Chains A and B, each alone.
Chain A
Amino acid sequence: MSVLAVSQSVIDLSYLVAAVLLIVGIRQLSSPQTARLGNLVAAVGMAIALGFTLTDSDIDTFWLIGAGVALGTVIGVASARLVKMTAMPQMVALFNGVGGGAAALIAAAEFHRHAPDADRLAGDVIAGILFSALVGSVSFSGSLVAFGKLQELLPGRPLTFGAQQLFNAALAVALVVLAVVTGVTENGLWLVLVLVGALVLGVLMVLPIGGADMPVVISLLNAFTGLAAASTGFVLDNTALIIGGTLVGASGTLLTILMGRAMNRTLGNVLFGAFGKVAEGEAGPAVAGDGMVRAASAEDVAVMLAYANRVVIVPGYGLAVAQAQHEVRQLADLLEERGVDVRYAIHPVAGRMPGHMNVLLAEANVPYPQLYEMEQINPEFPRTDVALVIGANDVVNPAARSSPGSPIYGMPILDVDRASHVVVLKRSMSPGFAGIDNELFTSPRTVMLFGDAKDSVTRLIADVKTI
C-alpha cells in the first residue's frame, strides 16, 4: 500500500479532467493561432493523469518507475532538443515506435503475470492483451523502418519482392490465428511467436512504401499505437488509457485520410501502390506528385500567406479580367498588418499591354514602392516564402528558361519557381495566351487555387481574417 494512496474515485476524477484537457488540446492543435497552446494544454492533461496514477494503491515499488521515467526523460529531452528541424518527421516516427513498443511490452508483462492461473484471465482481458501485443509490435517495427527510410539509413525507394502483398496478407492471417491459439492455450511461447511475427509484419508493411509517402504511413502507425494504448486500458481497467488511446486512434485515422487527400493519394494507393512504382521507378525514386496538379483550399493558402515572412504577388491578365485589384490590395493590407512583407512583381508584358498591371494596381491605390520591376524582384524569389500568382501564366512559365523548343524560349520571365511555395490562382487548367503547357503548375512546390480571381481573393481575405 502506497503512502501516497488516495481513493480510486479521486484518481478517476483526475482522469476525467485529463480527458477534457486532451480533447481541448487536440481541438486547439487543429487551428494555427491556438496550436501551440493546445500542445501545452494536452501536456498539462497528461501530467495530471500521470501524477494521480502514482497515488494508485496497487503501486508498492517506486524505484523502478523513477529510474525508468528519469532515463526516458533524458532520452526524450535530448532527442527532441538536438534534432534538426528538417529531421522532425523521422523523430515523430521514432517517438511513435517506442509508444507502440511500450504497449506491446505492457501486454507481455500482464500476460506473464496472469498466465499461470488459467482462470484469472477473463475473455476481454486476454483479447486486449493480444490486440496490444500485435498492433503495438507492428507499430514499433514499422515506425523504425519509417525512421530508417527518412534518416536514409535504408533506401527511400520502395523495396519489394515477388508476391509480397500476398505474403503480408498470409502473415497477417497467420498472426490472428496464432493470437487465438495464444488466447486459448494461454501459453507464453505462442505469445512470443505473435510478438515476433508482428514485428516482421511491421517491417514488411513499410518497406515497400516510398519515402515521399512516409508521412502518411507514420500518421497511420500513430493511429495504430493509439489503438494499442487504448487496448491496454481494457486490460488494466483504466479509463484514461482507453480515452487517450482511442482519441489518437480515431483522430489519427482521420488525419491519415486528410494527409493522403492533400497529396492526392488514397490510403490504399499509399499502402499497396508500390507495384506500379517498381514497374516505372527502377531508374530512380519517383518524385512525389510528379506531373500532378495539387489543388489547395482557400483556407490552406490563407494559412501559408498569413505565416509567411515575404509574399510576392504576381498579377496577370486573369486579375484584369476578374477586376480583382481592389480585393488584392485589401488582402495585401491584411497581410502587412500581420507583419508580412508584401511586394508586387510586375512583368513588362503581363496582361495584354505594357503597363497594364501598373494601371490596374494604381487604380486600387497600391503604394508605388511596393511595385517591383522584373529585374529588381527576380533575385528576391529565392528568399520569398510564397509567390502568389494571380491569373498570370506565360510570364511565369519556366519553359522560357529551360526548353529551347518552346515558343516562348528566351523570353524573360519572373522566376516564381524559385520561391519556397507558389500559389497559382487560375480559373481552370487551360493553357495561357501562348497556348503552351506550364510545368510550374505541376511543380511539387506549387498548389493551385481554382476559381475566378476575384472570388478566390475574397475567400482568402475572409480566411486570413479568421486566423
Chain B
Amino acid sequence: MTHEQIVEITIFVLAVFIGFEVISKVPTMLHTPLMSGTNAIHGIVLIGAILIAGSADSGLEKALAFVAVVFATVNVVGGFLVTDRMLEMFKRRERPAPKPRE
C-alpha cells in the first residue's frame, strides 16, 4: 500500500468513530430532522461530480458527469432547505409574559 492509501484509510476509520460518537443521545423528536440533515451532508458527493465534470473527455463521461452534478446539487440544496423547514418548529416562540398568578 502506498502512503496516500494508508492516510486515506486512517481518515476513514477515524471518521467512522466520530460519526458514531457525534450523535450519542438524540431525542425522538429530532430523529427525522437529523436524518434529513445528514442526508444533505452526503450531498458532498457533489465534489466528486464537479471534479469529473470539469475534466470529462468523452461525450459519455460528460453526460454521466452532468447528471451526477444535477443529482448531487438537488441532494445538497434540497436537503439543507428541507431540514431548515423542519427545524422551524423549534424556533423560540415570542409570547406575552406569563399570566399573573393568584
Contacts and interface: CB of A to CB of B under 8 A. Distances in A.
A58 B65 CA distance: 15
Interface residues of B, number: 87
A244 interface: yes
B46 to A, nearest CB: 6
A304 B51 CA distance: 44
A336 interface: yes
Interface stretch (A71-79, A371-379, A412-420, A428-436): A71-79
Contacts of A240: 44, 47
Contact of A245 (B44, B85, B93): B44
A92 interface: yes
Interface stretch (A254-262, A281-289, A316-324, A397-405): A254-262
Contacts of B82: 80, 83, 88, 91-92, 95
A225 B84 contact: no
B76 to A, nearest CB: 6
B90 A32 contact: yes
Nearest to A224: B42
Interface in A31-49: 31-33, 35-36, 38-40, 42-43, 46, 49
Interface string B31-56: 11111111111111111111111111
Contacts of B57: 113
Interface of B: 4-5, 8, 11-12, 15-20, 22-58, 60-62, 64-95, 98-99, 101-102
Interface of A: 22-23, 25-27, 29-33, 35-36, 38-40, 42-43, 46, 49-50, 53-54, 56, 58-62, 64-65, 67-69, 71-73, 75-77, 79-81, 83, 85, 88-89, 91-92, 94-96, 98-99, 101-103, 105-106, 108-110, 112-113, 124, 215, 218-219, 222, 225-226, 228-230, 232-255, 258-259, 262, 296, 299-300, 302-304, 307, 309, 336-339, 365, 367-369
